[in-house]
Amino acid sequence: MIRNAVLCSALAAVVASPALAQTVQIRIENLQESGGMAFTPFWVGFHDGSFDVFDAGSMASGGITEIAELGDTGPLTARFAMEQPGGFDATFADPSGPPVFSPGESATMNYDVGDATVNRFFNYASMVVPTNDLFVGNDNGREIFDASGNFLGPITIDIFGRSVWDNGTEVNDITDGPAFVAGIDATGGTDEFVDIERFFSRPGADAYLASIIGTTTAPGDEITRVFTEDQLIGRITIVPAPGVASVGLIAGFGLAARRRR
């Protein structure tokens, strides 16, 4: 009887524990047609709401520049680890081929995001390829769980052309230092020192995109079409991972799949 009472008390303590681990399924899609532009691997993070990937209307800093100019998630990952030691982040790449999300490609991944009563907010960032320093991402964390750790989804984040940001650190010139363009050094480019703003708010945005048509990317794909301001170019969907228990400190797992339309 004593043993049973102890076991029941222990089980109750686990169930009542404020640490509510959640495993979510994230799907990322490039909705552009063949010949369109690509996305580099996405940085994704779940945190307590105090982490800023970037601040719109301010100068770029803290890892977003490396993503916007080179598709490099490393510096942002390092900053996240320092500022959010209890958070969860990952670089979401194509698990079965070239890591970029080419037009028509998508991938799905399951992630255990840790304590959902704490890691309630979601951010993402990815470079638009090929460009000098354009990227997609959210400056304010999207609430995914409530204060009790309950999932608020399904969550759908539609990425339109008007959602694209200009990092403001490199002049938009497709012949001068853009990343992933065949025959061009991506570490070059003329520096620019302006605030992060919506790309289509910049003078000359349409002309810059038009200049990209005919460009050949490093993998050998020719850009034959570019996006418009109102075009739906990508989508992120977040749902509970199918068939995965989430109560207590249960370890998560990762599964990936990729398809081409």
Quote the CA–CA distance of 105 and 32 in Å, as a whole number.
9
The pLDDT value recorded for residue 136 is 98
CATH 2.60.40.2130 is the classification of domain 19-246 = yes
The 10 Å Cβ neighbour count of residue 220 is 7
Question: 169: phi > 0 → left, psi -120 to 50 → alpha, else beta; which?
Answer: alpha
The pLDDT value recorded for residue 10 is 41
Residues facing 165 on adjacent strands: 135, 198
Condensed to tens digits (0 to 9), the pLDDT of residues 198-233 reads 999 999 999 999 999 999 998 789 999 999 999 999
pTM score of the predicted model: 0.86
HSE-up of 81 (CA within 13 Å, CB side)?
Answer: 7
Quote the CA–CA distance of 48 and 184 in Å, as a whole number.
40
Quote the CA–CA distance of 235 and 239 in Å, as a whole number.
13
Quote the CA–CA distance of 143 and 152 in Å, as a whole number.
8
* Sequence spans of domains, the chain: 19-246
The pLDDT value recorded for residue 244 is 58
The pLDDT value recorded for residue 165 is 98
More confident residue, 135 or 4: 135
Condensed to tens digits (0 to 9), the pLDDT of residues 47-64 reads 999 999 999 999 998 899
Q: pLDDT-based confidence at 20, cuts 50/70/90?
A: confident
The pLDDT value recorded for residue 70 is 96
**Structure-token pair, residue 168:** 């403001």
Condensed to tens digits (0 to 9), the pLDDT of residues 81-109 reads 999 999 999 999 876 667 889 999 999 99
Q: In the predicted model, is pLDDT for residue 123 greater than 70?
A: yes
The pLDDT value recorded for residue 243 is 75
The pLDDT value recorded for residue 96 is 62
Sequence-distant (≥ 6) Cβ neighbours of residue 84 within 8 angstroms: 45, 47, 48, 50, 51
Condensed to tens digits (0 to 9), the pLDDT of residues 245-254 reads 443 323 333 3
